[in-house]
Amino acid sequence: MRHIIRFIAMILIVLAGWVPPPQLTQAANLDTTAAHVFGQPDFTHNTANNGGLSASSLNSPIGVALDAQGNLYVADHANSRVLEYRAPLTTDTIADIVFGQPDFTHNTGGLSATSLDNPGGVALDGGGNLYVADTSNHRALEYGLAPVKLYLPLMLR
């Protein structure tokens, strides 16, 4: 079983496009102090679902991915969900979208096209599609890009 999960995770990484590690000269210049924290109110707390199950809490995050627009995706394993943070490095660290649950206050695993059960990893491809290893359901899911809707203001004369 463990080998199957690792195999799926490796496929997801390949689909997302492997990025080589930074050159040694670049790595020497990396800051070793974290700049942001997700799932906790600050750097000194570590309680699962701190403050209750919400868009601000995590319980055993197991994988992360970042898309080209700077949106962060976190596999929140024990809450059976994936959270999307829209441009969190320039806004806030509160999740904006939840995958696998009806809202931010539920964490029941399920088996359907809209539910997850202990996701084990996330990856993105070049087209912006999200891939999730749905570990306890023994499957991998693809979430395609939502169709773009253009709303024009009604102009009256």
pLDDT tens digits for range 33-72: 999 999 999 999 999 999 999 999 999 999 999 999 999 9
Of the candidates 80, 70, 79, 88, the residue with the CA atom closest to the CA atom of residue 124: 70
Q: What is the pTM of this model?
A: 0.76
Domain edges within the chain: 2-19+43-143
Mean pLDDT of 15-21: 60
CATH of 2-19+43-143, one of 3.40.1280.10, 2.40.10.500, 2.40.50.140, 2.40.110.10: 2.40.10.500
Helix H segments across the chain?
A: 2-16, 24-27
Is it the case that residue 92 has pLDDT exceeding 70? yes
Q: How far apart are CA 139 and CA 103, in angstroms?
A: 22
DSSP structural state of residue 5: H
Of the candidates 49, 136, 135, 127, the residue with the CA atom closest to the CA atom of residue 95: 49
Is it the case that residue 152 has pLDDT exceeding 70? no
